[in-house]
Structure 1
Amino acid sequence: MDGFLLAQPDSVMRAYGSRVTFDEADRAVAALRDNTAELIVGALPFDPRRPAALSVPERAEHTAGPWRPAALPDLPAVQVVTEIPSPAEHVARVTKLVEQLNDSAQPLRKVVAARSVLAEARAALDPELVAGHLLTRHPHANVFAVDLTAAGRTGATLVGATPEVLITRQGDTVTLRPLAGTLPRHADPDADTAQARELLASTKNRVEHEFVIDWIRERLGPVCFELSIPDGPELINTHEVWHLATPITGRLRDAATTALDLALSLHPTPAVCGTPTGLALDTIADLEEDRGFYGGAVGWCDANGDGAWVVAIRSAELSADGRTVRAYAGGGIVAASDPHAELDETTAKLRTLLGGLHCTLPAH
């Protein structure tokens, strides 16, 4: 896929081709500031020290309203071939992290532990077709497909359907709705309602959520006034999980602060990384394989500074030949986490992407 798609419930940004590419976000910021770029689109990696996939497109269309793709042909069959790490190894990793977090002598307070699955398709998957199927299954999600060539992953595409907006800037107004704290949904309506109530009352999940809100307040406080943050989170749901969410709005002090500036300031949040950020990032690098763009950010920013960036969760990297999919999911680990419950959470989250491919995850 030679281009970019971000389909949000109220608007669609599509871009085609690349006039200039950037594997360093600071160079993209500079291009906006010196007016050599009218629009930047692309993706930021999970680890800010790794290459980005940003570009100035040859042409772009930004339209109001939801994306309504044409009739979607069936996808080729997709089958999970391996889990990285294995479920047992993931539980062992989380157990080790919980022990570390319960050691009062160390400063780590939260770390996000992720795992992935590798799936193979019988025939090449078209990224836009995958995005269309994800939208059909998750009509209220932010669906994306991003060419990763600029980051050295020639021909690879990041696809996903995320419920989380990192930051939106329009004029001097910024909005975001961070998510942290999750429980899987139940098929039985009564059990599902009870699960939602349990999440809202969960001390463990509310502590995890508060780490994220504190981080956002710290990062946005200096650049915004009239920062509005509710006293507590609300419940939202996807097809697979319940989340704690907090809608936040603010007004910029300086009109020169762009959507890309804001995204870089906020990313990675404790919702995808942990706290303190640097220590959590190093802990993840020591424990896990490279996450690539999972947990990164996808979005756009124009020359006026307006733009939207979403958190690249519920996502997968599609290989250049379209035959291999690597899907990721993670969960925030705090001192009170239960390792087996954390495994269940990642399994539920993986079903967001895999369900859109009509692919099932083996039972554990």
Structure 2
Amino acid sequence: MNGNGYDKRSWKKKRRRQTEGFEAVAMYWARAKKDGKFGLSYLDNQVFSWSVSDIFDRDLLRKKSFDVASVQCLLRDQVKRIPDTFTSFESYLDSFTWPLIEEVHADVFSSLDGYSEANFIEVTQVGNLDASKPILGFRVAEPVKDEKSRETYVPVENDIIVLSSHKPRHVSDLTQNKSSFVLGSNKKSSGPVTKAWEFKPKVCWSYAHKPAEAESSQCSQPSQCFDGRLIEWLGLEKFGLNDSQLNAVSDCVSLMDSNSSSIKLLWGPPGTGKTKTISSILWAMLIKGRRTLACAPTNTAVLEIAARIVNLTAKSSDGTVFLNDIVLFGNKKKMKIDNDYYLSKVYLNSRAERLLPCFKSNTGWRHCLCVLIDLLDP
């Protein structure tokens, strides 16, 4: 058999698998839409009603009025303090409604603001599943196995996704034309590569990104030149920081021994070493024995920071810091941390699983010590 005949057979098999996959998704949707299970919820309607300016407005739920499901909602006084006691079960649920919407708004803001660092996946095939609703079936490529690649996104049910014609490089990429992207909600994952998503095609956002005023990472109040002896003591030479980044680290380190509370803003355009600077600050705090909580709007950013600190700790041979000084926690499924992943050494759940046998009554440390004492006791 010649090569052309083999290629044709492979192509036909691939097309047949794709067709069968979409037929299975279409049949599933035909059954599921009858019970209305996948109708947009009240929370979905809230999210899809926001424009880009609404999402980037931190005070949206304190000042904006808008119409949802033909009900005029005044949000100025909706987010209130949750009381200690409740008069009924309904009042209990109502008390958490608007704080939940506020939290979702903040999550969408953080995710879109971190668009340039988001994981993504290529859509290889699209099919319309419903003639009366914007329900589409998608076939996506297999995730790239390279840990350094961002082309690793695996859609999960209830994800809010951005469908765009461009790879995510910068949030301003979404404004190249009026219909450059739409917002969608992942309704069902029916296999490793085939997904059913619902879209609101009328929601086409635009966002004008404010240009950066400098080309390097800086702190809000730069300090004096960094002390060379302190650089050597903290081991910061291994980071390869420039002067601006060293000044940023200096600002934060100088406040560690201060009793006053303050906020330092580290800012700069993409590619200017903000992540490297933050890693340096965390390393300095580890060396000085300070407890620090590092948070980020995306799992990718958290894992990047954790990976840098873990690698530095593993390479450190002077015994000043140890892996047990670092704890990583978050959603294990979304972070894609398994037992073979090197960050599982510091992941909280994995660490707890490894330590659990040490505290068992019949086989743990206490039992072993008691046996040793009984053995040595004359």
TM-score under structure 1 length normalisation:
0.21
RCO higher in 1 or 2 (8 Å CA, sep ≥ 6)?
1
Higher strand proportion (structure 1 or 2): 1
